[in-house]
Amino acid sequence: MSLGIGVIGTGVMGSEHARLAAREIPGAHLAGVFDADAGRARAAAAGATVFPDPRALIASDRVGAVVIASPDGTHAELALACLEAGKPALCEKPLASTTAEALRVVEAEVASKRRSIQVGYMRRFDPGYLEMKRIKDTGGIGAPTLLHNVHRNVRAPEWFTGPMAVTNSFVHEIDVSRWLTGSEMVSARVEAGPGGDPLMITMRTDRGEIVSTEVHMNAAYGYHVHAEMVGREGTVALAPPSLVSRNKEGAGGIVYPDDWVPRFADANRRQMTEWVRAAAAGTPVGASAWDGYVASAIAEQVAAGMAGDRPTALSVPARPSLYG
Ligand code: ISE
Protein backbone atom coordinates (compact mmCIF):
# COMPACT_ATOMS: atom_id res chain seq x y z
CA MET A 1 0.00 0.00 0.00
CA SER A 2 1.25 3.47 -0.84
CA LEU A 3 2.17 5.72 2.14
CA GLY A 4 0.36 9.07 2.20
CA ILE A 5 2.81 11.86 3.04
CA GLY A 6 1.62 15.18 4.45
CA VAL A 7 3.97 18.16 4.16
CA ILE A 8 3.74 21.04 6.64
CA GLY A 9 5.35 24.20 5.27
CA THR A 10 5.89 24.65 1.55
CA GLY A 11 8.79 27.09 1.37
CA VAL A 12 12.05 26.18 -0.37
CA MET A 13 12.52 22.79 1.31
CA GLY A 14 8.85 21.94 1.89
CA SER A 15 7.97 22.36 -1.76
CA GLU A 16 10.94 20.15 -2.70
CA HIS A 17 9.74 17.49 -0.22
CA ALA A 18 6.21 17.76 -1.67
CA ARG A 19 7.57 17.36 -5.21
CA LEU A 20 9.62 14.32 -4.18
CA ALA A 21 6.64 12.71 -2.41
CA ALA A 22 4.37 13.34 -5.40
CA ARG A 23 6.74 12.12 -8.09
CA GLU A 24 9.90 10.38 -7.09
CA ILE A 25 9.51 8.11 -4.10
CA PRO A 26 8.54 4.45 -4.59
CA GLY A 27 5.73 3.32 -2.28
CA ALA A 28 4.58 6.85 -1.37
CA HIS A 29 2.36 9.64 -2.60
CA LEU A 30 1.63 13.23 -1.60
CA ALA A 31 -1.53 13.12 0.54
CA GLY A 32 -1.67 16.84 1.26
CA VAL A 33 0.09 19.97 2.39
CA PHE A 34 -0.35 22.91 4.74
CA ASP A 35 1.26 26.34 4.55
CA ALA A 36 0.33 29.62 6.22
CA ASP A 37 0.37 31.10 2.70
CA ALA A 38 -2.57 29.35 0.99
CA GLY A 39 -1.40 30.25 -2.52
CA ARG A 40 2.01 28.74 -1.89
CA ALA A 41 0.33 25.64 -0.42
CA ARG A 42 -1.89 25.22 -3.50
CA ALA A 43 1.11 25.51 -5.82
CA ALA A 44 3.06 22.83 -3.92
CA ALA A 45 0.00 20.55 -3.55
CA ALA A 46 -0.30 20.18 -7.31
CA GLY A 47 -3.82 18.84 -6.91
CA ALA A 48 -3.41 17.09 -3.54
CA THR A 49 -5.43 18.26 -0.49
CA VAL A 50 -4.60 21.63 1.05
CA PHE A 51 -5.27 21.31 4.79
CA PRO A 52 -6.58 24.32 6.75
CA ASP A 53 -4.09 23.85 9.60
CA PRO A 54 -1.17 21.57 10.54
CA ARG A 55 -3.13 19.69 13.23
CA ALA A 56 -5.81 18.67 10.69
CA LEU A 57 -3.04 17.36 8.40
CA ILE A 58 -1.43 15.34 11.21
CA ALA A 59 -4.83 13.92 12.27
CA SER A 60 -5.99 12.97 8.77
CA ASP A 61 -6.47 9.24 8.04
CA ARG A 62 -5.03 9.86 4.60
CA VAL A 63 -1.71 11.01 6.08
CA GLY A 64 0.46 8.09 7.22
CA ALA A 65 3.68 10.10 7.75
CA VAL A 66 4.50 13.79 8.09
CA VAL A 67 7.26 16.05 6.77
CA ILE A 68 7.78 19.13 8.98
CA ALA A 69 9.28 21.93 6.90
CA SER A 70 7.67 24.99 8.49
CA PRO A 71 9.75 27.78 10.15
CA ASP A 72 12.38 26.55 12.67
CA GLY A 73 10.44 27.85 15.70
CA THR A 74 7.48 25.52 14.96
CA HIS A 75 9.44 22.26 14.50
CA ALA A 76 9.43 20.99 18.09
CA GLU A 77 5.73 21.58 18.70
CA LEU A 78 4.79 19.80 15.45
CA ALA A 79 7.19 16.91 16.14
CA LEU A 80 5.48 16.49 19.54
CA ALA A 81 2.06 16.49 17.83
CA CYS A 82 3.27 13.72 15.45
CA LEU A 83 4.54 11.67 18.40
CA GLU A 84 1.18 12.10 20.12
CA ALA A 85 -0.66 10.99 16.98
CA GLY A 86 1.74 8.02 16.54
CA LYS A 87 2.80 9.20 13.06
CA PRO A 88 6.39 8.97 11.79
CA ALA A 89 7.87 12.39 11.06
CA LEU A 90 10.75 13.66 8.98
CA CYS A 91 11.51 16.98 10.66
CA GLU A 92 13.64 19.49 8.79
CA LYS A 93 16.71 20.67 10.68
CA PRO A 94 17.05 22.10 13.24
CA LEU A 95 14.87 19.84 15.41
CA ALA A 96 13.98 22.92 17.48
CA SER A 97 15.10 26.49 17.84
CA THR A 98 16.10 26.00 21.49
CA THR A 99 17.84 23.15 23.29
CA ALA A 100 15.03 22.99 25.84
CA GLU A 101 12.42 22.37 23.13
CA ALA A 102 14.62 19.78 21.39
CA LEU A 103 14.97 17.95 24.70
CA ARG A 104 11.18 17.85 25.10
CA VAL A 105 10.96 16.02 21.76
CA VAL A 106 13.64 13.53 22.82
CA GLU A 107 11.90 12.94 26.15
CA ALA A 108 8.52 12.39 24.49
CA GLU A 109 10.05 9.94 22.00
CA VAL A 110 11.86 8.07 24.79
CA ALA A 111 8.53 7.86 26.68
CA SER A 112 6.90 6.39 23.54
CA LYS A 113 9.63 3.65 23.58
CA ARG A 114 9.91 3.77 19.78
CA ARG A 115 11.97 5.86 17.39
CA SER A 116 9.68 7.59 14.92
CA ILE A 117 11.34 10.99 14.38
CA GLN A 118 14.06 11.50 11.79
CA VAL A 119 15.78 14.88 11.46
CA GLY A 120 16.49 16.14 7.95
CA TYR A 121 20.28 16.26 8.13
CA MET A 122 20.32 15.11 4.53
CA ARG A 123 24.08 15.25 4.03
CA ARG A 124 24.17 11.79 5.65
CA PHE A 125 22.54 10.56 2.40
CA ASP A 126 24.78 12.48 -0.02
CA PRO A 127 26.81 10.03 -2.17
CA GLY A 128 30.04 12.03 -1.67
CA TYR A 129 29.77 12.23 2.11
CA LEU A 130 28.78 8.54 2.25
CA GLU A 131 31.89 7.58 0.27
CA MET A 132 34.11 9.74 2.53
CA LYS A 133 32.66 7.97 5.55
CA ARG A 134 33.08 4.52 4.01
CA ILE A 135 36.75 5.23 3.19
CA LYS A 136 37.47 6.61 6.66
CA ASP A 137 35.58 3.77 8.42
CA THR A 138 37.48 1.10 6.49
CA GLY A 139 40.85 2.60 7.43
CA GLY A 140 41.47 4.19 4.03
CA ILE A 141 43.20 7.32 5.42
CA GLY A 142 44.47 5.95 8.73
CA ALA A 143 43.46 7.56 12.01
CA PRO A 144 41.68 10.89 11.36
CA THR A 145 43.34 14.02 12.71
CA LEU A 146 41.50 16.92 11.02
CA LEU A 147 38.27 17.66 9.23
CA HIS A 148 37.99 20.86 7.19
CA ASN A 149 34.48 22.00 6.26
CA VAL A 150 33.48 24.84 3.96
CA HIS A 151 29.84 26.01 3.91
CA ARG A 152 29.20 28.94 1.57
CA ASN A 153 25.81 30.43 0.72
CA VAL A 154 25.29 33.04 -2.01
CA ARG A 155 23.55 35.42 0.39
CA ALA A 156 21.83 35.10 3.75
CA PRO A 157 18.08 34.51 3.30
CA GLU A 158 15.96 37.52 4.29
CA TRP A 159 14.42 35.55 7.19
CA PHE A 160 17.86 35.11 8.79
CA THR A 161 18.14 36.79 12.16
CA GLY A 162 20.73 36.93 14.98
CA PRO A 163 22.83 33.81 15.35
CA MET A 164 21.11 31.80 12.56
CA ALA A 165 24.44 31.35 10.73
CA VAL A 166 25.18 29.01 13.64
CA THR A 167 21.75 27.63 14.59
CA ASN A 168 20.41 27.19 11.04
CA SER A 169 23.52 26.74 8.83
CA PHE A 170 26.45 25.54 10.96
CA VAL A 171 24.18 22.88 12.53
CA HIS A 172 24.78 20.89 9.33
CA GLU A 173 28.52 20.76 10.04
CA ILE A 174 27.90 19.87 13.68
CA ASP A 175 25.82 16.91 12.55
CA VAL A 176 27.92 15.79 9.60
CA SER A 177 31.17 16.14 11.58
CA ARG A 178 29.81 13.98 14.44
CA TRP A 179 28.58 11.44 11.88
CA LEU A 180 31.80 11.38 9.80
CA THR A 181 34.22 11.20 12.73
CA GLY A 182 32.03 9.17 15.10
CA SER A 183 33.35 11.52 17.80
CA GLU A 184 31.64 14.01 20.10
CA MET A 185 32.54 17.70 19.99
CA VAL A 186 33.97 18.95 23.28
CA SER A 187 34.99 22.56 22.64
CA ALA A 188 34.50 25.31 20.09
CA ARG A 189 36.04 28.64 19.25
CA VAL A 190 34.59 31.20 16.84
CA GLU A 191 36.40 33.93 14.91
CA ALA A 192 34.22 36.37 12.97
CA GLY A 193 35.33 38.13 9.78
CA PRO A 194 34.64 41.80 9.07
CA GLY A 195 30.97 42.60 9.77
CA GLY A 196 30.45 39.15 11.31
CA ASP A 197 30.58 37.13 8.06
CA PRO A 198 32.25 34.72 7.37
CA LEU A 199 32.69 32.82 10.61
CA MET A 200 35.59 30.47 11.23
CA ILE A 201 34.62 27.88 13.81
CA THR A 202 37.13 25.43 15.24
CA MET A 203 35.93 22.49 17.33
CA ARG A 204 37.86 19.78 19.17
CA THR A 205 36.50 16.26 19.47
CA ASP A 206 36.73 13.85 22.39
CA ARG A 207 39.39 11.95 20.37
CA GLY A 208 41.50 15.09 19.93
CA GLU A 209 40.58 15.66 16.27
CA ILE A 210 40.26 19.24 15.05
CA VAL A 211 37.18 20.23 13.01
CA SER A 212 37.41 23.57 11.22
CA THR A 213 34.43 25.16 9.47
CA GLU A 214 34.10 28.27 7.37
CA VAL A 215 30.45 29.36 7.55
CA HIS A 216 29.99 32.02 4.94
CA MET A 217 26.50 33.42 4.44
CA ASN A 218 27.29 35.96 1.68
CA ALA A 219 29.92 34.28 -0.47
CA ALA A 220 28.28 35.71 -3.62
CA TYR A 221 29.69 33.35 -6.28
CA GLY A 222 27.52 30.29 -5.64
CA TYR A 223 26.32 27.68 -3.13
CA HIS A 224 29.37 25.63 -2.23
CA VAL A 225 29.77 22.95 0.40
CA HIS A 226 33.09 21.15 0.74
CA ALA A 227 34.77 18.80 3.19
CA GLU A 228 38.20 17.20 3.47
CA MET A 229 39.26 14.74 6.12
CA VAL A 230 42.95 14.35 6.95
CA GLY A 231 44.24 11.10 8.41
CA ARG A 232 47.64 9.74 9.46
CA GLU A 233 47.99 7.92 6.11
CA GLY A 234 46.11 10.09 3.62
CA THR A 235 43.21 12.42 3.00
CA VAL A 236 39.75 12.13 1.51
CA ALA A 237 37.70 15.04 0.17
CA LEU A 238 34.44 15.64 -1.66
CA ALA A 239 34.94 15.98 -5.42
CA PRO A 240 33.70 19.19 -7.10
CA PRO A 241 29.89 18.98 -7.00
CA SER A 242 29.03 19.54 -10.63
CA LEU A 243 27.60 17.34 -13.37
CA VAL A 244 29.23 19.46 -16.06
CA SER A 245 32.06 21.87 -16.62
CA ARG A 246 31.44 24.92 -18.75
CA ASN A 247 33.69 27.18 -20.86
CA LYS A 248 32.56 30.76 -21.40
CA GLU A 249 34.08 34.21 -21.87
CA GLY A 250 37.67 33.08 -21.63
CA ALA A 251 37.19 30.96 -18.49
CA GLY A 252 36.21 27.41 -17.77
CA GLY A 253 35.16 25.38 -14.79
CA ILE A 254 32.40 23.90 -12.73
CA VAL A 255 29.03 25.54 -12.30
CA TYR A 256 27.69 26.31 -8.81
CA PRO A 257 23.96 26.40 -8.03
CA ASP A 258 22.31 29.33 -6.21
CA ASP A 259 21.19 27.28 -3.24
CA TRP A 260 21.20 23.87 -1.59
CA VAL A 261 18.22 22.34 -3.42
CA PRO A 262 20.12 21.30 -6.60
CA ARG A 263 23.33 20.56 -4.66
CA PHE A 264 21.60 18.12 -2.33
CA ALA A 265 18.78 16.92 -4.64
CA ASP A 266 20.11 13.38 -4.65
CA ALA A 267 20.65 13.39 -0.88
CA ASN A 268 17.08 14.60 -0.27
CA ARG A 269 15.64 11.96 -2.60
CA ARG A 270 17.62 9.18 -0.91
CA GLN A 271 16.72 10.51 2.52
CA MET A 272 12.99 10.42 1.76
CA THR A 273 13.23 7.01 0.08
CA GLU A 274 14.88 5.50 3.17
CA TRP A 275 12.49 7.31 5.52
CA VAL A 276 9.46 5.92 3.64
CA ARG A 277 10.96 2.42 3.77
CA ALA A 278 11.51 2.75 7.54
CA ALA A 279 8.00 4.18 8.08
CA ALA A 280 6.59 0.96 6.59
CA ALA A 281 8.85 -1.35 8.59
CA GLY A 282 11.61 -0.49 10.96
CA THR A 283 13.61 2.27 12.58
CA PRO A 284 14.61 5.49 10.80
CA VAL A 285 18.19 5.31 9.51
CA GLY A 286 19.16 8.99 9.30
CA ALA A 287 19.74 11.51 12.07
CA SER A 288 17.64 10.64 15.12
CA ALA A 289 15.87 13.04 17.46
CA TRP A 290 18.90 12.59 19.73
CA ASP A 291 21.26 13.68 16.92
CA GLY A 292 18.94 16.63 16.31
CA TYR A 293 19.02 17.53 19.99
CA VAL A 294 22.83 17.32 20.17
CA ALA A 295 23.27 19.49 17.05
CA SER A 296 20.92 22.14 18.47
CA ALA A 297 22.49 21.99 21.95
CA ILE A 298 25.99 22.46 20.52
CA ALA A 299 24.82 25.25 18.20
CA GLU A 300 23.22 27.06 21.14
CA GLN A 301 26.41 26.77 23.20
CA VAL A 302 28.59 27.90 20.27
CA ALA A 303 26.31 30.91 19.63
CA ALA A 304 26.33 31.84 23.33
CA GLY A 305 30.14 31.68 23.48
CA MET A 306 30.72 33.62 20.25
CA ALA A 307 31.46 36.96 21.88
CA GLY A 308 34.13 35.48 24.18
CA ASP A 309 37.80 35.13 23.22
CA ARG A 310 38.24 31.70 24.83
CA PRO A 311 37.10 28.31 23.51
CA THR A 312 33.66 27.29 24.77
CA ALA A 313 33.47 23.94 26.56
CA LEU A 314 30.59 21.95 25.03
CA SER A 315 28.48 19.54 27.01
CA VAL A 316 25.55 17.25 26.31
CA PRO A 317 23.83 14.84 28.71
CA ALA A 318 24.24 11.06 28.46
CA ARG A 319 22.55 9.44 25.46
CA PRO A 320 19.29 7.65 26.34
CA SER A 321 19.40 3.89 25.63
CA LEU A 322 16.66 4.24 22.95
CA TYR A 323 19.35 5.78 20.71
CA GLY A 324 21.83 2.89 21.00
C1 ISE B 1 19.42 26.19 4.96
O2 ISE B 1 18.36 26.24 5.87
C3 ISE B 1 19.86 24.79 4.75
O4 ISE B 1 19.49 23.88 5.42
C5 ISE B 1 20.97 24.65 3.80
O6 ISE B 1 21.33 23.31 3.61
C7 ISE B 1 22.16 25.43 4.34
O8 ISE B 1 23.23 25.33 3.47
C9 ISE B 1 21.77 26.89 4.53
O10 ISE B 1 22.89 27.59 5.04
C11 ISE B 1 20.61 26.97 5.51
O12 ISE B 1 20.24 28.31 5.71
Domain assignments of the chain as residue spans, ordered by start: 3-122+267-287, 124-262+296-313
| The dihedral formed by the CA atoms of 108, 28, 36 and 258, expressed in degrees to the nearest 10 | 100
Mean pLDDT of the chain: 97
Phi-psi region of 195 (alpha: psi -120 to 50; beta: other; left: phi over 0): left
Cα of 142 vs centre of ligand 1, distance in Å, is 31
Residues 6+ apart with CB under 8 A from 250: none
- Against a cut of 0.85, is the pTM above it? yes
Mutate which of 172, 176, 259 for ligand 1 pocket (most atoms within 8 A of beta carbon)? 172
Residue nearest to atom 5 of ligand 1 (CA): 260
pLDDT in tens, 231-288: 999 999 999 988 899 999 999 999 999 999 999 999 999 999 999 999 988 889 999 9
pLDDT in tens, 18-68: 999 999 999 999 999 999 999 999 999 999 999 999 999 999 999 999 999
* Pocket of ligand 1 contains residue 169 by CB under 6 Å: yes
Tell which atom from ligand 1 comes closest to the C-alpha of 264.
Answer: 6
- Rounded Cα distance between 111 and 64, Å, is 21
- Rounded Cα distance between 285 and 279, Å, is 10
CATH architecture designation of domain 124-262+296-313: 2-Layer Sandwich (3.30)
- Rounded Cα distance between 206 and 80, Å, is 31
Cα of 28 vs centre of ligand 1, distance in Å, is 26
* Pocket of ligand 1 contains residue 10 by CB under 6 Å: no
Cα of 295 vs centre of ligand 1, distance in Å, is 14
**Direct distance between the N- and C-terminal alpha carbons of the chain, in angstroms, rounded to an integer:** 30
Cα of 260 vs centre of ligand 1, distance in Å, is 7
3-122+267-287 topology per CATH: Rossmann fold (3.40.50)
